[in-house]
């Protein structure tokens, strides 16, 4: 039965819906004792996981049951914010239908980054994931609640073709809606009433304001991992941070870092006991010190939560930007990590007091007005006339196109296959129509 669950998830093209899109069939093939459903939704302004847990609680719980079965886990935990009261009621009702499941709810305060897998595993189980390790190294699998709903659908033979996401910010009708994968973000913004002001003065963030990225054009497609489309004034603090090039971060750091250590004192990975001290990377780079490679390669311990940059530093500097570039260079050099693998970790004694409340982070990011927008769930059946479906929406190799221009496809038909023997995920048609283009990168379908 375990193999059958893993195979159905592979066939349906399920990938991690809350993060980088790791292929789920690989993740759930591990043997663990605990599966944690991640409903923390710690990114400001996003509402999709909250609505998903409220309206599809049965599917979330069924997905959790399937992963517990596939991995042999005896314990299940659903972690979500205490303030998601409607979701808590819905999940409790769904769990009441399955009295034999050993699952509990774990209620979280609103702080950032509560949904980081390492933090969540520690908060839920008290176990510390080793440096550069994985939750499975301490007997856990963490799955986003959207991924779990997709796993439940996969078991019924339904592939991943749509994405629930929040559209908010400077749009006329902020909302949370379900859209076919491959829909352009410009179209989704139109479905949210269009923008409120001159589009030239606006910027668009894909994902959350902390871990998301700036969109390059309105033609960019929604993918399996797009949790939000946030339209903001170009002079908003969040946009300013995301726009700043590395050279400018370095110039600022060289001229103003006073080694106050605030970035280290609030770094969530440092507070878990990892050997990551972002103030030291500032010192190392700013003063041209090259004799401390440990501080440089410690970049691999950074989860890129951007808390140092957007909240902790009083001078608007970014150790995170340095770490990202170092990671890129280490990967390009083929550097092998034999150093940052400590398992003898001890959380910082003040960790509890150094959590960053989401409300305060929102204020710092200049997002208070937008955080008050409700973004209600819109049950509409949105169907674009054209979708551009990327064949790489996941970690691993791009899928290999299995359709050609002129082919007629229906929702759910396979259009991209995992290359033989490689890590990857299948891709399926999200609308009925005709394939007008199929390249190594994407498949375009017109209805
Ligand atoms: S918080 Fe800012 S000023 Fe202080 S050490 Fe870190 S980067 Fe430098
Ligand atoms: S982005 Fe900054 S705060 Fe976050 S883990 Fe990396 S160094 Fe720490």
The residue whose CB lies within 8 Å of the most ligand 2 atoms, and thus the one to mutate among 263, 269, 351, is 269
* Closest among 349, 347, 277, 345 to 308, alpha carbons compared: 277
User: Averaging pLDDT over each range in 182-196, 242-256, 281-295, which range is the top one?
Assistant: 182-196
Question: Each residue of 53-103: pLDDT tens digit?
Answer: 999 999 999 999 999 999 999 999 999 999 999 999 999 999 999 999 999
Weakest mean pLDDT among 16-20, 184-188, 276-280: 16-20
Q: Copy the structure tokens of residue 321.
A: 């930007």
Angle at the Cα of 42 from the Cα atoms of 381 and 298, rounded to 5 degrees: 125
CA–CA dist 321, 332 (Å, integer): 17
Question: Each residue of 221-258: pLDDT tens digit?
Answer: 999 999 999 999 999 999 999 999 999 999 999 989 99
At 20 the pLDDT is: 81
| C-alpha 391 to ligand 1 mean position (Å) | 40
Q: Which ligand is nearest to the CA of 116?
A: 2
| C-alpha 279 to ligand 1 mean position (Å) | 6
| C-alpha 180 to ligand 2 mean position (Å) | 34
At 332 the pLDDT is: 94
> Using CA positions, which residue lies closest to atom 2 of ligand 2?
308
Q: Which ligand is nearest to the CA of 313?
A: 1
**Residue 50 clears pLDDT 90, i.e. is over it:** yes
CA gyration radius, the chain: 22
Mean pLDDT of 417-422: 96
Residue 160, burial from CB neighbour count under 10 angstroms (0-12, 13-18, 19+) = buried
Phi, psi of 432 (to 5 degrees): -80, 140
Residue 186, burial from CB neighbour count under 10 angstroms (0-12, 13-18, 19+) = middle
Count of residues in the chain: 447
User: What count of other Cβ atoms lies within 10 Å of the Cβ of residue 171?
Assistant: 23
Q: At what angle do helices 145-155 and 48-55 cross, to 10 degrees?
A: 40
**Residue 172 clears pLDDT 70, i.e. is over it:** yes
CB proximity list for 204: less than 8 A, separation 6 or greater: 185, 189, 214, 215, 218, 229, 230, 231, 232
At 291 the pLDDT is: 61
**Residue 197 clears pLDDT 90, i.e. is over it:** no
Q: Which ligand is nearest to the CA of 257?
A: 1
| C-alpha 118 to ligand 1 mean position (Å) | 24
Instruction: For residue 113, give the ligand 2 atom closest to its CA.
Output: 4
Q: At what angle do helices 145-155 and 57-71 cross, to 10 degrees?
A: 80
Q: Which ligand is nearest to the CA of 312?
A: 1
CA–CA dist 255, 253 (Å, integer): 6
At 286 the pLDDT is: 82
CA–CA dist 94, 302 (Å, integer): 37
Cis peptide before 113 (omega within 30 of 0): yes
The residue whose CB lies within 8 Å of the most ligand 2 atoms, and thus the one to mutate among 323, 324, 326, 340, is 323
Instruction: For residue 313, give the ligand 1 atom closest to its CA.
Output: 1
Contact 193, 172 (CB under 8 A): yes
> Using CA positions, which residue lies closest to atom 4 of ligand 2?
305
Q: Which ligand is nearest to the CA of 254?
A: 1
Residues with CB under 6 Å of ligand 2 are: 267-269, 276, 278, 302-308, 319-320, 323
Mean pLDDT of 146-165: 98
| C-alpha 260 to ligand 1 mean position (Å) | 5
Contact 8, 155 (CB under 8 A): yes
Residue 378, burial from CB neighbour count under 10 angstroms (0-12, 13-18, 19+) = middle
Q: At 287, is the pLDDT very low, low, confident or very high (cuts 50, 70, 90)?
A: confident
Percent of the chain with pLDDT over 90: 94
The residue whose CB lies within 8 Å of the most ligand 1 atoms, and thus the one to mutate among 253, 254, 279, 306, is 279
Contact 38, 247 (CB under 8 A): no
Residues with CB under 6 Å of ligand 1 are: 257-263, 279, 282, 312-313, 315, 317, 319
Angle at the Cα of 218 from the Cα atoms of 215 and 222, rounded to 5 degrees: 70
Percent of the chain with pLDDT over 70: 99
* Closest among 196, 230, 197, 198 to 213, alpha carbons compared: 230
Instruction: For residue 260, give the ligand 1 atom closest to its CA.
Output: 4
Q: At 199, is the pLDDT very low, low, confident or very high (cuts 50, 70, 90)?
A: confident
At 18 the pLDDT is: 85
Please report the beta strands in 32-130, taking only residues with DSSP state E, as ranges in sequence order: 34-39, 75-81, 103-108, 111-112
Q: What structural domains and CATH numbers belong to the chain?
A: 2-155 (3.40.50.11540), 161-236+367-384 (3.10.20.600), 244-360 (no CATH), 386-447 (2.40.50)
At 94 the pLDDT is: 98
CB proximity list for 327: less than 8 A, separation 6 or greater: 299, 300, 302
Residue 233, burial from CB neighbour count under 10 angstroms (0-12, 13-18, 19+) = middle
| C-alpha 308 to ligand 2 mean position (Å) | 6
Q: Higher model confidence: residue 18 or residue 380? A: 380
**Residue 292 clears pLDDT 70, i.e. is over it:** no
Question: Each residue of 340-365: pLDDT tens digit?
Answer: 999 999 999 999 999 999 999 999 99
């Amino acid at each position: 039965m375990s193999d059958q669950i893993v195979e159905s998830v592979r066939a349906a093209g399920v990938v991690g819906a809350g993060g980088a899109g790791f292929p789920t069939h690989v993740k759930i093939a591990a043997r663990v004792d605990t599966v944690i459903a991640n409903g923390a939704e710690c990114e400001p302004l996003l509402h999709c996981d909250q609505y998903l847990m409220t309206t599809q609680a049965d599917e979330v719980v069924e997905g959790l049951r399937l992963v517990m079965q596939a991995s042999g886990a005896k314990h299940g935990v659903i972690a979500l914010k205490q303030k998601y009261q409607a979701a808590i009621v819905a999940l409790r009702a769904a769990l009441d239908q399955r009295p034999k499941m050993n699952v509990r709810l774990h209620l979280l305060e609103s702080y950032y980054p509560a949904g980081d897998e390492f933090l969540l595993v520690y908060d839920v189980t008290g176990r510390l994931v080793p440096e550069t390790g994985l939750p499975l190294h301490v007997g856990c699998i963490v799955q986003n609640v959207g991924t779990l709903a997709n796993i439940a659908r996969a078991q019924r033979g339904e592939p991943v073709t749509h994405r629930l996401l929040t559209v908010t910010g400077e749009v006329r009708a902020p909302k949370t809606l379900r859209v076919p994968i491959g829909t352009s973000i410009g179209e989704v913004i139109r479905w949210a009433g269009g923008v409120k002001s001159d589009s030239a003065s606006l910027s668009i963030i894909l994902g959350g304001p902390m871990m998301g990225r700036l969109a390059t054009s309105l033609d960019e497609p929604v993918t399996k991992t797009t949790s939000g489309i946030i339209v903001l004034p170009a002079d908003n603090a969040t946009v300013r941070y995301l726009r700043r090039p590395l050279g400018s971060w370095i110039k600022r750091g060289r001229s103003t870092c006073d080694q106050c250590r605030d970035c280290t004192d609030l770094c969530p990975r440092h507070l878990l006991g990892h050997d990551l001290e972002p103030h030291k990377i500032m010192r190392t780079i700013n003063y041209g010190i090259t004799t401390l490679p440990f501080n440089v390669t410690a970049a691999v311990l950074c989860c890129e939560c951007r808390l140092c940059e957007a909240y902790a530093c009083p001078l608007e500097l970014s150790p995170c930007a340095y770490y990202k570039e170092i990671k890129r260079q280490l990967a390009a050099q083929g550097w092998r990590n034999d150093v940052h693998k400590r398992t003898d970790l001890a959380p910082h004694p003040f960790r509890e007091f150094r959590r960053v409340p989401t409300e305060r982070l929102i204020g710092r990011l200049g997002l208070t007005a937008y955080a008050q927008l409700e973004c209600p769930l819109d049950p509409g059946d949105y169907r674009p006339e054209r979708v551009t479906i990327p064949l790489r929406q996941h970690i691993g190799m791009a899928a290999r196109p299995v359709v050609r221009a002129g082919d007629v496809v229906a929702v759910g038909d396979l259009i991209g296959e995992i290359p033989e023997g490689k890590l990857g995920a299948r891709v399926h048609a999200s609308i009925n129509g005709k394939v007008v283009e199929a390249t190594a990168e994407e498949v375009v379908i017109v209805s």
